[in-house]
Structures are given as structure tokens and as C-alpha cells.
Structure 1
């Protein structure tokens, strides 16, 4: 204001003016709760199959909200791997978050609505952090499913409690290895470095975070990165009134569905581009190995004493990568070439371009202007009040406070490539040459 209009105003007056403008643009946060039920009615008419639930208390004060778009539900049920990322996200509006807290009750409410959509099966896998309320709700509502841990959250806990670079390096190798004997060797090294860190990993349950001992099919999904990406995408929108926040999510989903549908339709390969590249690399690496037939189904693949046995009929390999990732490893790739079989038939259908196209074949449609909404009076006349919260005076913080361990780890710089968050020991990036 001072630079552009030569008007001096106080900080508090500038903030009040900003909040007043935002209320003119988006409506007040209080009114947004009342508008939410009407919005759900309209978005359901525009997108058939969309499921919404609003939970209120005995005084009609807002508690929880659930939304799943029809196109997303049908795309997931038919074409996507049955793996679901679960994580929480903190909102920044004047009424705090959508739920009161990450409690047993809130997670059970959310997952019970999810179960009504997708059901329960032995093929279903959840990936989350180690929050006990999530584990408890999943075990109660999805007894047939499997539950694995995000190794990135395990890594953060190790940084907070032990902050030992050697332990972190060994942990990531142990969590992602495919062989049980390699895991046991690495865990022995962790025990020698830090007995306390080894005890923490043991108490967490090896099958909970170690890929090779996990019961179920989590494919190559070891982290909650997708959920973290969604949190990052909503960084600015999390301060919007609730109806505007949901509409922002719908518009982002509309954009993503269109972009992915266009990319999928342009794909001319049998697998998605990423999996085509991985399969090509695996095939090229497999050509360096020797193959020998053992039986009609078994093939020995390797060099010298470093060999593995591949069973193409059962789609397994003694290295265990084939059956865990559901895509041929280097040994299976060499065995298939030796036996004259195509690699594409050994890949999971979830990696195919047809499934990619099917997942995003539908459209998420926009919502009409608010002046054009036609909503039954029963919905508009039912009051929804904002939740009762108490916020401290002044401007609320917009950035999460990081612990001192997060600061130390995030500023670590690799001396090999110059990037942050890792060191030269774990670096896989191209080396950067420095001019004299």
C-alpha cells in the first residue's frame, strides 16, 4: 500500500482488509458450512455415482466430511492396484481441521465410509504411518486386508530418536531388499551400530515395514509419497472455507483426469511409458546373464556361483523380486528370452496401457454457478453450524514448525551431485563436474 499508493497503514489494518476481501471472494467460513450440503447435492447431480457424507453432532455442528467422486470410484475398482495410501492433513482455516483430531473415532468414521465403497478383501493393502488409531481402525473394519508401513515415516522416526547416518543407510537397504538372507545380514549390521535402533525396528514388526516379509501384494509401493504430494498440492487451499476447499479438490481432479486421459490415449505401447522403460532396462541387463534349463518350467539364470532359479509357470524367482513387484526381474527377463516367451505376459495387468486408459476414461464434470443451483428445500433448510473451536488471538501460523532433526537432515548437501537431503554414499544422480 505504501509503495504503490503512498498510503501508510498498520499491519493489523492490512490483514483485516485482506480477510475482508477473501470473504467477499469466497464467502465467510461460517456460511460455507451451511452451503456444503447444497454443494454436495449439486456435485452429485453433475457427477453420477459421487458419494458424500456430512457428520454433525446433536446440535447440528459440523464434525466430519467424506467425498469420493464417481469417476474415481469406478476407475479404482476396475483398473488400479488395490493399494490405498492413508494419511492426515492439517488445515489452516479459522475452524482448524475437517476432523477434530486423528483419533480412533475419526479414523473409524472415515474408513467405515471407505469400506462401504470398496469392501474388504485379501488383495487390499493399506500403506500408512505408524499411528495407532489408523492401525486400530483398519484391523477392525478391514480384517481381511493387509497393512504396511511407509518407510519414509519410519526413517523420520529414526532421525528423531537416533539420528545416525549409518543406521538410516542400512535401514533403507534392509526395508527395500527382496531377499530374507540379505535382510538378516543388514539387521545384524544395524544391531552392531545401534542396539537401541535395532530394538525399535524389531518392536515395529518386520512384516510391517520389510518388503520381503510383508504378507500381501504392495507391489513397489514402499512410501506414502502420493498422499504427501496431495498435501503439498493443497498447501494454499487448506486455508479456504470448507466448500471452496472441496471445490478446489474437485477442479484439480478434473484437470488431472483430463491430462492423464490425453496422455493415456496417446500411448501406443502395451505397458505404460514408465514400465516400458523399466522393462527395457531389465531386458538389457538380463542379456549379460547365462541361462540353463533345469526342467520344463525351471531355468537357472546368473553368472558363476551367483545364480537364481526362475519358474515362468508360477511367475517366481528365488531373488523374490519377480513375485513381489509383479514385473519380470533380470533373471525372469533372461529366462523368458531363453524360453522364447514374451515379457509382456509376465507383467501385471495393472501396468498395462489399457488399464491406464480405463482408469481415466471418465470425466469429472464442473459444478454450475451458485446462482443456478436447484436444491430441495429440505437440504437448504437443514442447518449446519461450524464446529466449536478456540483459536489464540492474532494471525495464525501458516508454516508447520519443524523439529531440529528435520532441519539438520533437510539441509544436508551431497558433495557428489550438489543436491540436498542425501549424501554421496547414497547418491545415484549423475556426477556434477566443477569448472576450474
Structure 2
């Protein structure tokens, strides 16, 4: 894929910052810079981070903002900021990692075959123009677009008032001064208001990659099971290789970080410390040797 470029997963960058710089309380600034759609917003968050922790700001600049920030990305990153797809594949293979390679290949083939068939069927049954996630996001943005006011400048450009800032929308260039339309390749609330006021269809301004036919084409390939047999001879029988057992307990999963554990537990409160009480007066806050009843004076 010659058009593919290297990027840094924001989730792993976040873990690196927390472990090396102890910057858990500054992650809102790092996240604001990574998720910013405009250069002014990025510079604002980075300036605040430089004043608070210059070493962390220097580390992020040395890591190259083009690899981890959305606004400086030279390619089309859309709304993808993590490597969760690769993590999902790795989690799926956890059950078959301890088996011989022949079973591992068979396991991957069957699993991908089921995935492709299910997603191909879901894409074919879509009654909307775009995928479910895109349709939901457009519906939410359209709700906020109804609260805005629009003024037409010419045949392509509109001035939309409302939201966090007033923006200039150019439907010909598919851009908005808020930056969301330019980066995500789907209209923001300002662009949706301009599209509705002009009487255009939404499919004319949304990138073609979000259409359901593109989703179907992504899973159009058929993954065949391994049913071919190649006999080598009547007296020769192929058997799987004997794997070498490594010493110690076999490890299939890694240690989870605090961030993964907190997301796994969800909103479950942390365990509170036990409140000890004096065994003599039954009052909390002290023990028997320090009880005030021992010294009545």
C-alpha cells in the first residue's frame, strides 16, 4: 500500500506519557492538542502545556506532531486515532496462540471467514446511504444544525452562525473554518446547515468511502476453508510438528495497565480502606493503647 503512512497510536502515546512523565493530570492538554481540528486550537493547548511542563511539550514536539496530532497529519486520518483494529485481532488470536501453527492457521481462516460473511451480509442489508455509525453521527450533528442560522454568500459559500464559533462553509472545497469538515471528510453541523439551506442531498458532501457500497466492497472477498489435500505418497503421512514447551507457566496475556483496568472496571468505585475502632470504647480513630479512657485525667 504505497499510500499508507506511519502513525503513532494516541492510546499508547498516552500510556507512555503517564509512565515516563507522571502527567496524568495533564492529559486533557495532550488530548486537546491531539484531537484539535484547527492550528489555533493546537497551538493554544501546546502553549499551555509548555508553561506547565516544558519537558513533556518538548517530548511531544520531538515525537513529530505529524504522527500523533490530527491537524498536522499529512494524509487522511479521518477519525481514526488508535490501533484498536490490530488489538482486536491480537485478542482474537489469544485462544489459539498455544497450539501448533497448523491449527493456528485453520483457526484464523475460520474466524475471518465468519467475520467477512457477517459484515458482508450486514452491509448488503443496509437501507441507508452510509454506514450505521456515520448515519448516527450525521443525525446528531443535524440536531445541532437546526439551532443555527445561515446566510448565503454565493453559490458555494455560506456564513453559519451558532455553536462554539461562527464559521465560513465552502461546499465546493468541502471545507469549514472549524476544521471538522476538512479532517473527517464528513460535514460538521455548520456544513449540514449550509447543505440543508441550499437543498442539496447529503451524499454530495460526504466522502464516498463512508457509503454502504464501499463497506460492502471491503468484505467482498470470500475466504475459503482449507479443504485441499495434497497426497505425497501412500507410505508417507504428514503430521504437525512437535512444539517445544518453554519452561515455566505459559503466558497468554500481558499485564494490564492502570488505564486498561479503570476502563475495564467502568464506574465501579475503588475499594475503601477499613475503618478500625478501639476495642475498649468502640470509637473509631484510635486503638486500645491510645484510648482516652486509660487516662481519665
Q: TM-score range by the shorter chain?
A: 0.7 to 0.9
Secondary structure of the residue aligned to 2:97 is: helix
> Deviation at 1:147?
2.4
Q: Which has the higher contact order (CA 8 A, sep 6+)?
A: 1
TM-score in terms of structure 1 length: 0.56
**Runs (5+) with no aligned partner, structure 2:** 271-297
1:284-324: CA deviation from partner (whole Å, max 9, x where unpaired)? 11111111112222111123992111110111111111121
Within the candidate set 338, 343, 346, 2:197 is matched to: 338
Does residue 418 of structure 1 match 2:272? Answer: no
Secondary structure of the residue aligned to 1:213 is: coil
> Deviation at 1:399?
3.3
Within the candidate set 259, 262, 266, 2:118 is matched to: 259
> Deviation at 1:266?
1.4
Report how many aligned residue pairs link the two structures.
266
> Deviation at 1:385?
8.3
Question: Structure 1 stretches (4+) deviating beyond 6 angstroms?
Answer: 384-387
Equivalent residues in 2 for 1:82-161, closer than 5 Å = 118=1, 120=2, 124-125=3-4, 146-161=5-20
The change in CA–CA distance for 1:260 and 1:410 in structure 2 (over 3 A counts) is closer
> Deviation at 1:343?
1.2
Q: Is the 8 A contact 2:50 2:56 kept in 1?
A: yes
Does residue 347 of structure 1 match 2:209? Answer: no
Does residue 168 of structure 1 match 2:48? Answer: no
Q: Is the 8 A contact 1:413 1:420 kept in 2?
A: no
In the other structure, the counterpart of 1:203 is: 62
The change in CA–CA distance for 1:247 and 1:390 in structure 2 (over 3 A counts) is closer
Q: 1: CA distance between counterparts of 2:213 and 2:94?
A: 33
> Deviation at 1:164?
2.1
In the other structure, the counterpart of 1:181 is: 40
Superposition RMSD in Å: 2.9
- Structure with max Cα Rg: 2
1:356-387: CA deviation from partner (whole Å, max 9, x where unpaired)? 2222233212112xxx612578xx99xx9899
Secondary structure of the residue aligned to 1:168 is: helix
Does residue 373 of structure 1 match 2:229? Answer: yes
Does residue 271 of structure 1 match 2:130? Answer: yes
In the other structure, the counterpart of 2:252 is: 398
Within the candidate set 201, 213, 222, 2:81 is matched to: 222
Equivalent residues in 2 for 1:56-95, closer than 5 Å = none
Does residue 322 of structure 1 match 2:181? Answer: yes
Q: 2: CA distance between counterparts of 1:420 and 1:165?
A: 19
Secondary structure of the residue aligned to 2:107 is: helix
> Deviation at 1:412?
4.2
1:193-226: CA deviation from partner (whole Å, max 9, x where unpaired)? 2221111111101111110111011111111011
Q: Is the 8 A contact 1:191 1:198 kept in 2?
A: yes
The change in CA–CA distance for 1:304 and 1:156 in structure 2 (over 3 A counts) is closer
Q: 1: CA distance between counterparts of 2:47 and 2:62?
A: 15
**Runs (5+) with no aligned partner, structure 1:** 1-117, 126-145, 422-436
Greater strand proportion: 1
Q: Is the 8 A contact 1:412 1:420 kept in 2?
A: no
TM-score in terms of structure 2 length: 0.81
Secondary structure of the residue aligned to 2:13 is: helix
